[in-house]
Chains A and B, each alone.
Chain A
Amino acid sequence: MSHSFTEIDIKPLGDSALIVQLGEGITPSIHQKVRALSTILEAQPFKGFIESVPAFHNITVYYDPVAVQQNQSKYGERTDRLLTSFEAVCQEINKLLEQVDERKEAEARLIEIPVLYGGEYGPDLEAVAAFHHVSAEEVIQIHTQNECLVYMIGFAPGFPFMGGMDERIATPRRENPRLAIAPGSVGIAGKQTGVYPLETPGGWQIIGRTPLELFRPDSFPPTLLQAGDRVRFVSMSSEEYKAYKERKR
């Protein structure tokens, strides 16, 4: 067992879920631990495990306390008393943590997201450029330069919380949020960049749009992006955008 896992903290999120805290803050090394535990949980689910949701520095584990209890009364070790379901799940998670080898880097996929920047689909590109006293072309150049890391998915199906955007184009949210942002819109909010999978209201600065579908309810996994993916944005022309949309039809 890698000793860096010894300082984990498990807190109950009610009687049917718990949060395994694996550090503090947003760093690639904590993310590595989150991925490692997430992978082993999926590979070796304990009896009563429902699912898990990885986040920046912790994982929420959902379980069925009734199934956990029934399993315990059947197979539980003979002790003075039965464990509570929470205690039994903590035990299972600690067992898994002992097997985790976080030095083994989980494989990360690299996903390219083509974006048509500016114009009708990127109404805030000029404003972002003006905010930083650079040209629109420079904003695009900076936005397509760095690889981003998907730390977690949340808020909407397939919505990535990403880190790694070049801070030279970090821009505060719009003062007046839009009531509807089209699916595929690529935006900036503070130091974050992201893509909207569904039409939602929002205050992000919209700099472009991708023709890719981020939410695909008929496939599994149902989303283009998953926690742990690396993402690179690529600039596309309006002809390429149109051609892509035509092909999809």
Chain B
Amino acid sequence: MTIRVLNGGLLTTVQDLGRYGAQKYGVIASGAMDAYSLRVANLLVGNQENEGALEITLWGTSLSFERECMIAITGGDLLAVLDGEKAPTWRPLLVRKGSVLQFKSPVKGCRAYVAIAGGIAVPEVMGSKSTYLRAGIGGFRGRALQKNDVLMCGKSNQSNLSLWNALSKSDEDVPWAVNYEALVSLKQEQLIRVIRGTDFDRFDTKSQTAFFSQPYHVTTHADRMGYRMEGTALSLAAPDELLSEGVTKGTVQVPPSGQPIILMADRQTTGGYPKIGQIISADLSTMAQLQPKAKVHFQEISLEAAERELLRKEQVIHEIKMGIRFKELYS
């Protein structure tokens, strides 16, 4: 036994970077909402970056460690408390046997990630540990974590062990943490960068202008499947029935109500609503950290600039990897 769930909170699931290769069969991609935070959490404990970790939503989750573990907490600041004290985040952490980790309430952001050295030992389904709630597959028994569930961690590899070793020698005081702000922002008013969608030209001029100039708010209908937004209603220049086709994470589609929906990790594989925009990949983590009521300004950028932003953030991840490798080797 490794981790016992004392409280499953609002929604706690096992996620990795997603299930790919079966979208053509209608199997959704799933995966972490905030992929950068998941990757960094895994790297901080010496895991492969696509290892399964826990995704915790807003509040209520409480975990008890039944043996000593090395973990890392990243993502949104949900006021993580370890044995009564504020837990350090964005760095590796040794937790003693019997420790209790609680997520009290969202201070900044919406989702936190807890990675465990060795990963979470759940079977892979179609190559992924991500939980697919609606189909009841993947993750921990295909469902959200509940009170008294017991999670086992996987076998430690050499990286896990050397980081663990380095950490135990340093009197538990790690003088470093990852500066996450270059990857994800937790502010609740955001500029989100968008490329024109494949159906942008079908919208009337007023809607095209409004989408990129008026603010939109996240509604309470915002979950792993998608974010329903509220703001100036958008309409097509002429009514049109579109055929279903592939969609992806960050697709901004507009149903007949005129209020945009942003598709997120648990989106269906295909959709038939017109797509006005597409959030750039580099900004998806920031989008995933928005809570209901958050204010968003969509800003148009070119495809070329979007690619540059993505490569720039990939360079940040690369530097984090190098930094951790250095700690592993020379601590």
Contacts and interface: CB of A to CB of B under 8 A. Distances in A.
B279 interface: yes
Given A84-B307, A156-B268, A217-B126, A198 B134 contact: yes
B56 interface: no
B15 to A, nearest CB: 17
A216 B269 CA distance: 17
A84 B303 contact: yes
Contacts of A223: 25-26
A152 interface: yes
Interface in B306-328: 306-307, 310-311, 314
Interface string A195-235: 00110000000000000000101101111001100000000
A56 B244 contact: yes
B198 interface: yes
B7 interface: no
A50 B248 contact: no
B125 interface: yes
B195 A53 contact: no
B26 A60 contact: no
Given A69-B307, A157-B26, A55 B245 contact: yes
Nearest to B24: A53
B245 A15 contact: no
Nearest to A61: B246
B198 A51 contact: no
B25 A221 contact: yes
B99 interface: no
B27 to A, nearest CB: 5
B84 interface: no
Interface of A: 11-17, 19, 25-26, 38, 50-60, 62, 65-66, 69, 84-86, 152-159, 161, 197-198, 215, 217-218, 220-223, 226-227
Interface of B: 20-28, 125-126, 134-135, 137, 195, 198, 243-248, 250-251, 268-270, 275, 278-281, 303-304, 306-307, 310-311, 314
20 contacts: A13-B247, A14-B248, A14-B251, A14-B306, A50-B21, A55-B270, A56-B243, A56-B244, A57-B243, A58-B246, A65-B310, A69-B311, A86-B303, A153-B269, A154-B26, A155-B26, A156-B268, A157-B27, A158-B26, A221-B22
